[in-house]
């Protein structure tokens, strides 16, 4: 059953990969599609989901706390490992992103298939907590917390469309204004285009040639991201007393491969772009096997 639920999502990623390799509709289409999704369509989905989310539900507070605990625990573990086995920021940054970042398009698609509109509302709250945190930690890892890191972080947070969309969605929900005069339907229409286009763009961004280098490193980081992180999420969910949709959202996003946008951030901050591209590609491919397995184990438990 889980395989039947998830295979269309990975088929969309595969379709994006094939279309991009055939330059269809053109090589220039995919960067433009990714940009419009990142700046317009996906933020619209976040705003409409957050504006309608039951933010006063205590379970959401527990889910947010559990998400922060998982991410910070993983990041602290990586920094401790770096103290034992030193590595430059250019290498450590991709490793950090390969463990704590997640593919939002794939995660939302899985949650939508398994839990519908209720799942999307909870997922939007998760993203509002997790997206700023993983961005800050990723920048710190790539810059070695240097003197320019604070300004880099502030600039990245202030200009990140996803973070801004989360702030707008929170404000609308807490103020009680909601989305009047048809704005909710308008944003919902934009948001509906985000997930399928996002999955196609994920496939288009895959770079199989980068898998030849440091295969052992790719395997280790992928095991941490795809298997250890969902196990930590399940444990954190038990500690914080989560159940139902909240627990599902926490585990699903913890089981997702790292985000393709991690490659963009790595390049901007002079990290090892080839290593980051290899991590993104390898994890996305392996997730086709690991995600149904993780969901099956969670369902049994």
Question: Looking at residue 264, what is its pLDDT?
Answer: 80
- The correct answer on CATH 3.40.50.300 for the domain covering 2-300 is no
For the segment 140-159, the average pLDDT, to the nearest whole number, is 74
Residue 1 scores a pLDDT above 60: no
Question: Looking at residue 100, what is its pLDDT?
Answer: 98
- Residue 149 CA to residue 166 CA, distance in Å, equals 23
Residue 272 scores a pLDDT above 70: yes
For the segment 154-162, the average pLDDT, to the nearest whole number, is 80
For the segment 125-142, the average pLDDT, to the nearest whole number, is 90
pLDDT tens sequence across 207-254: 898 888 788 999 999 999 999 999 999 999 999 999 999 999 999 999
- Domain extents for the chain? 2-300
In the predicted model, what is the mean pLDDT of the chain? 90
- Residue 102 CA to residue 264 CA, distance in Å, equals 14
The reported pTM is: 0.89
CA-based nearest residue to 265, from 254, 245, 279, 286: 279
Question: Looking at residue 24, what is its pLDDT?
Answer: 95
Residue 109 scores a pLDDT above 60: yes
Question: Looking at residue 247, what is its pLDDT?
Answer: 95
For the segment 262-282, the average pLDDT, to the nearest whole number, is 89
- Residue 126 CA to residue 65 CA, distance in Å, equals 10
Question: Looking at residue 300, what is its pLDDT?
Answer: 76
pLDDT tens sequence across 183-218: 999 999 999 999 999 999 999 989 898 888 788 999
Residue 22 scores a pLDDT above 80: yes
Question: Looking at residue 149, what is its pLDDT?
Answer: 62
Residue 179 scores a pLDDT above 70: yes
Residue 5 scores a pLDDT above 90: no
DSSP string, the chain: -HHHHHHHHHHHHHHHHHHHHTT-S-TTHHHHHHHHIIIIIHHHHHHHHHHTS-TT-HHHHHHHHHHHHHHHHHHHHHHHHHHHS---HHHHHHHHHHHH---HHHHHHHHHHHHHHHHHHHHHHHHHHHHHHHHHHHHHHHHTT-TTHHHHHHHHHHH-HHHHHHHHHHHHHHHT--STTTHHHHHHHHHHHHHHHHHHHHHHT--GGGGGS-HHHHHHHHHIIIIIHHHHHHHHHHHTT--HHHHHHHHHHHTSPPPTHHHHHHHHTT--HHHHHHHHHHHHHHHHHHHHHHHHHHHH-
Question: Looking at residue 4, what is its pLDDT?
Answer: 66
């Amino acid at each position: 059953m889980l395989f039947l639920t998830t295979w269309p999502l990975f088929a969309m990623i595969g379709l994006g990969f094939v279309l991009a390799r055939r330059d269809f509709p053109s090589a220039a289409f995919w960067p433009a599609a990714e940009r419009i999704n990142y700046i317009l369509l996906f933020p619209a989905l976040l705003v409409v989901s957050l504006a309608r989310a039951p933010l006063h539900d205590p379970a959401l507070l527990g889910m947010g706390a559990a998400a922060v605990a998982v991410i910070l625990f993983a990041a602290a573990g990586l920094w401790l490992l770096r103290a034992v086995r030193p590595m430059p920021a250019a290498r450590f940054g991709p490793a950090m992103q390969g463990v704590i970042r997640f593919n939002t398009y794939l995660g939302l698609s899985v949650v939508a298939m398994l839990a519908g509109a209720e799942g999307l509302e909870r997922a939007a709250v998760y993203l509002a907590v997790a997206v700023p945190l993983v961005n800050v930690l990723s920048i710190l890892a790539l810059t070695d917390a240097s003197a320019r890191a604070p300004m880099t972080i502030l600039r990245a947070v202030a200009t990140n469309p996803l973070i801004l969309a989360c702030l707008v969605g929170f404000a609308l929900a807490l103020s009680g204004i909601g989305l009047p005069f048809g704005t909710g339907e308008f944003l919902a229409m934009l948001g509906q285009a985000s997930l399928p286009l996002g999955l196609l763009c994920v496939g288009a961004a895959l770079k199989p040639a980068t898998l030849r280098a440091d295969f052992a490193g790719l395997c280790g980081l992928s095991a941490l991201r795809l298997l250890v992180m969902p196990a930590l999420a399940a444990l954190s969910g038990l500690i914080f007393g989560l159940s139902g949709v909240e627990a599902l959202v926490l585990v699903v996003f913890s089981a997702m491969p790292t985000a393709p946008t991690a490659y963009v951030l790595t390049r901007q901050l002079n990290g090892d772009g080839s290593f980051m591209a290899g991590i993104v590609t390898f994890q996305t491919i392996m997730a086709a096997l690991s995600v149904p397995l993780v969901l099956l184990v969670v369902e049994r438990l």
